[in-house]
Structures are given as C-alpha cells and as structure tokens.
Amino acid sequence: TIPCTVDGSWSDWSPWSTCSVTCGSGTQSRTRTFTDPAPANGGAPCEGNSQDTRDCHTGTGCPVDGSWSDWSPWSACNVTCGIGTRSRVRVCDEPAASKGGKECAGEETKNQTCDTKQPCKGTLE
C-alpha cells in the first residue's frame, strides 16, 4: 500500500503571554505548532507564521522621577551696606515626580554670604 499524504495543520494558538511591561505599552505574543497533524508522506506544510504578536497597554502610566530645573540667578544682596545674604532657587519640575516616582533629592534653595563693599553709616547716641 502507498501511504497517504498528510497535509500539515496548525495547532490552536497558545494563550497570549503576559504584557512585556508592567506599566505603559508593551507587547504580547502567542505561538502555535504544525502538529495537528504534522505534514507527512510529502504532504503540504502549514502556511503562515508560528508566532503572533500584538501591542498591549497596561492602563497604568509608568512612574516618573522628578528632576531639578536649573538654578535661578543669584538674587541681589539683601542689604545695601555691609555683609548680607543672597539666594538662588530651583524647582523640581523638569519633570515633576508623578505616578509614584521619586521626588528630587537635595536642596531647593542655596544661600550665600554677600559683601556689598559699602560701609554702613549709622548714628551713635
């Protein structure tokens, strides 16, 4: 007897994998095999792909860590004579922390001694 040719046929698709990321957008995949049945005795192979992918969206935005802005210019000295203080600031908004991300570390304000080089004139009584 001559064996019959058996054309290959795909198995059912596997379930979709979990999303490749836990936040934001990623991908999922699934696979199948040509074993239902496998081609035999000169039968035709299966057509198409053994793997399929698709985009997935977790619905959850990823955490964003905060980052400092540049320092502002130094302010004017807070006195017009003698020794005083000047300051500069920065803001944690480039970007601001969101969705559970880390806040900026470090100081928001820096102070510095300033010398006006002007003697203070006062009255003595």
- Write the pLDDT tens digit of every residue in 88-106: 999 999 999 999 999 999 9
Distance CA 71, CA 103 (A): 17
Taking the complete model, does pTM exceed 0.75, yes or no?
A: no
The span from the CA of 21 to the CA of 27, in Å, is 8
Start-end ranges of CATH 2.20.100.10 in the chain?
1-61, 63-118
Q: What is the pLDDT of residue 98?
A: 94
Which among 63, 74, 61, 51 has a CA at the least distance from the CA of 101? Answer: 63
Give the pLDDT confidence score for residue 107 in this predicted structure: 97
Residue recorded with tokens 């046929």: 9
Position 10 confidence tier, pLDDT thresholds 50, 70, 90: confident
The neighbouring-strand residues paired with 87 are 111
Q: Which fold has domain 63-118?
A: TSP-1 type 1 repeat (2.20.100)
Which pLDDT value is given to residue 51? 96
Range from 28-32, 33-37, 66-70 carrying the lowest mean pLDDT? 33-37
What class, spelled out in words, does domain 1-61 have in CATH?
mainly beta
